[in-house]
């Protein structure tokens, strides 16, 4: 017969598991919603620490090399704030680097998270599916309501693109972040469907739904990753169903042409391609002034060159980058106070060599574990996906990016590791 203490531990393990399910379901909803459920999960983790400290601590010691990198990354932020005697409020978003791995550890490593991991991933896929349906219904209703008579539909849609694509469509979060979440969901249902238990017909419907959503999100990075994911799926799976090589290659080529054709029809993307082509063809072409990203990267590199070892520090990074924008005549970037839009440059610029090393430590540790992980391919897919987006966004400067990465990182690496 179980003791009262054992019953309490089981109760909080179950509560922690279900609060994690709710968090994953709400991850694509307005941010504050998932923060509440995440807080409940972390509270359950804290209670489990209190009731079973010895056992949990032993498990933690066995995988210290997985947990320590993110904790170290947070400590760099803390040390920087203390040295520069700045406000601790700067650490508010970054606290997830500390709280999620430590307080969430008992939940991630519980038998419920291990045995019912498919429920966790299914919750996430269901949540982002609901949001995609909501956004598509909303935008289609707006298009039908706003469309004037006497003008070609696509001409009108391109003229009013800002209202229906990108930020006009993704009203709950930044388009790039939504594109990241959709592509991760696609990876789960197309390549790791055993972890979501979806029937083939549902996979087809949801894939189509996510694809349409991504076209409205109109994220260049998001569509690029979508193209690679779907193409890889077709290459692997069509070969099993189509033995005729000509038909097989015909379907692949048809997908490539259709995807490229539809992408170019998005005004935001076609304008970018035309502008980039024009600037490269110009006699006064400079890579640093190719587009907004290159201007941000160039400015960040100049700041890094000034303090390559220790960086500018957390409180001074933004101001110093703005000064560099002004110096180079990048007035729009200065007015908007844009960050480096590259987490690797951001880490080096802010914390110097220690920032880059701790970031790489966090990302590369799972890649070296190999067969020690139950689902190494799943973890590798997450690291490759997040690393790509870190190249074009400073995702760990925002709570949304940190929360997404921390939850799936430790769910994949700890929740499925035999410890």
Tell the residue number behind the tokens 């391609």, with chain if given. 273
Q: In 65-83, which positions are buried (b, 16+ CB within 10 angstroms) versus exposed (e)?
A: ebbbbbebbbebbbebbee
- Predicted confidence at residue 368, as pLDDT, reads 87
pLDDT value, residue 148? 82
Task: For residue range 364-409, list pLDDT tens digits in order.
Answer: 999 888 778 888 899 999 999 999 999 999 999 988 899 999 999 9
Residue 113 has pLDDT above 90, yes or no: no
Phi, psi of 418 (to 5 degrees): -80, 105
**How far is 281 from 270, CA to CA, in rounded Å?**
17
* pLDDT for residue 241: 67
Q: For residue 419, what pLDDT band results from cuts at 50, 70 and 90?
A: low
Give residue 126's pLDDT band: very low, low, confident or very high (50, 70, 90).
very high
User: Given this model, what pLDDT does residue 283 score?
Assistant: 67
pLDDT at 39 over 90: yes
Q: What is the mean pLDDT of residues 256-284?
A: 81
Dist. CA 218–CA 121, nearest whole Å = 25
pLDDT band at 103 (very low <50, low <70, confident <90, very high): very high
Taking only Cα atoms into account, the Rg of the chain, rounded to an integer number of angstroms, comes to 23
Given a cut of 60, whether residue 417 has pLDDT beyond it is no
Q: Which residue has the higher pLDDT, 93 or 296?
A: 296
Between CA 400 and CA 35 the distance in angstroms is: 10
Q: Which of 208, 222, 202 is nearest to 255 (CA)?
A: 208
pLDDT over 90 percentage in the chain: 63
Tell me, what's the pLDDT at 315?
86
pLDDT at 248: 79
Average pLDDT, the chain: 90
**Lowest mean pLDDT across 28-42, 107-121, 264-278, 341-355:** 264-278
pLDDT by residue (tens digit) across 201-223? 899 999 999 999 999 999 999 99
The pLDDT value given to residue 40: 97
1 band by pLDDT with thresholds 50, 70 and 90: low
For residues 59 and 395, is the Cβ–Cβ distance under 8 A? Answer: no
Whether the per-residue pLDDT at 275 is higher than 70: the answer is yes
**Which has more confidence, 302 or 235?**
302
Q: Which of 70, 260, 271 is nearest to 165 (CA)?
A: 271
């Amino acid at each position: 017969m179980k003791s009262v203490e054992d019953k309490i531990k089981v109760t909080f393990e179950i509560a922690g598991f279900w609060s994690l399910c709710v968090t994953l379901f709400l991850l694509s909803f307005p941010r504050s919603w998932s923060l509440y459920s995440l807080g409940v999960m972390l509270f359950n983790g804290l209670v489990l620490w209190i009731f079973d400290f010895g056992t949990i601590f032993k498990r933690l010691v066995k995988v210290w090399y997985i947990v320590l990198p993110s904790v170290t990354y947070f400590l760099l932020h803390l040390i920087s704030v203390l040295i520069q005697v700045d406000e601790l409020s700067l650490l508010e978003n970054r606290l997830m680097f500390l709280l999620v791995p430590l307080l969430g550890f008992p939940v991630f490593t519980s038998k419920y998270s291990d045995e019912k991991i498919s429920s966790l991933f299914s919750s996430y896929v269901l949540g982002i599916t609901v949001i995609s349906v909501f956004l598509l219904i909303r935008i289609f209703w707006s298009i039908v309501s706003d469309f004037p008579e006497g003008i070609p539909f696509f001409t009108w849609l391109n003229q009013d693109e800002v209202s229906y694509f990108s930020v006009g469509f993704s009203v709950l979060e930044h388009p790039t972040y939504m594109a990241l979440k959709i592509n991760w969901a696609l990876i789960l249902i197309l390549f790791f469907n055993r972890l979501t238990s979806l029937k083939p017909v549902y996979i087809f419907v949801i894939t189509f739904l996510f694809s349409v959503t991504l076209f409205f999100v109109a994220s260049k990075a998001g569509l690029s990753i979508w193209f690679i994911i779907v193409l890889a799926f077709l290459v692997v799976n069509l070969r099993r169903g189509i033995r005729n090589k000509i038909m097989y290659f015909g379907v692949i080529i048809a997908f490539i042409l259709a995807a490229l054709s539809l992408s170019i029809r998005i005004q935001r993307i076609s304008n970018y391609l035309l502008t980039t082509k024009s600037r490269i063809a110009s006699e006064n072409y400079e890579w640093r002034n190719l587009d907004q990203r290159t201007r941000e990267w160039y400015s960040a590199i100049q700041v890094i060159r000034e303090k390559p070892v220790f960086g500018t520090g957390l409180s001074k990074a933004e101001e110093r980058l703005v000064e560099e924008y002004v110096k180079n005549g990048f007035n729009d970037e200065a007015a908007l106070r844009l960050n480096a839009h590259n987490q690797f440059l951001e880490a080096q610029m802010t914390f110097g060599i220690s920032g880059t090393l701790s970031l790489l430590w966090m990302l590369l540790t799972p890649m070296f574990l190999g067969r020690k992980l139950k689902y190494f391919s799943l973890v590798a897919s997450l690291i490759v996906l997040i690393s790509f987006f870190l190249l074009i966004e400073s995702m760990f400067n925002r709570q949304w990016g940190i929360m997404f990465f921390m939850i799936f990182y430790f769910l994949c690496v700890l929740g499925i590791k035999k410890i």
